[in-house]
């Protein structure tokens, strides 16, 4: 019978955003796996602040564009699922098991940030949509 058009309109944007989130993780963070040792012996990393900021800005733009097109739930769900999956795959080789805490923090942080951004953009663009008549 196949999927109906309304289902596709809900699922496709979420899948696209999930894929974009995984690709953005790979582009910004996936290639950097080595921790940095400073002169005083302390260890940081593996990610630099500019990498995390780049990932955040990239995903913020994707969430805002998707929400502006009326797909707020897909923006939140797709980004959260994609980034959580990418973090899990990237960090799952940690033998201590503590990576699960980091993955949970990524999931919660991504959900909250994308939900706030999506709500703000939806509220700002809702009156501008042409498919709904303005009421007063």
What mean pLDDT do residues 77-105 have?
93
- What confidence score (pLDDT) does residue 19 get? 97
What mean pLDDT do residues 75-94 have?
94
CA–CA dist 95, 128 (Å, integer): 51
CA–CA dist 120, 106 (Å, integer): 21
Task: Report H helices in 69-129.
Answer: 72-91, 99-125
pLDDT at 38 over 80: no
* Residue-range domain boundaries for the chain: 5-128
Which residue from 32, 21, 132, 26 is spatially nearest to 75, judged by alpha carbons? 21
pLDDT at 23 over 80: yes
Q: What is the pLDDT of residues 64-76, one digit of tens each?
A: 999 999 999 999 9
- Confidence (pTM): 0.81
């Amino acid at each position: 019978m196949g999927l109906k058009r309304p289902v596709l309109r809900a699922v496709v944007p979420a899948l696209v955003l999930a894929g974009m989130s995984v690709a953005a993780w790979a582009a910004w963070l996936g290639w950097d796996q080595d921790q940095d040792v400073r002169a005083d012996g302390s260890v940081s990393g593996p990610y630099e602040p500019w990498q995390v900021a780049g990932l955040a800005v990239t995903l913020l733009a994707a969430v805002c564009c998707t929400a502006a097109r009326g797909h707020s739930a897909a923006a939140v769900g797709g980004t959260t699922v994609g980034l959580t999956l990418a973090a899990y795959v990237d960090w799952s080789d940690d033998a201590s098991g503590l990576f699960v805490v980091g993955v949970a923090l990524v999931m919660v942080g991504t959900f909250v940030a994308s939900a706030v951004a999506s709500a703000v953009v939806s509220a700002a663009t809702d009156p501008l949509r042409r498919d709904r008549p303005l009421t007063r």
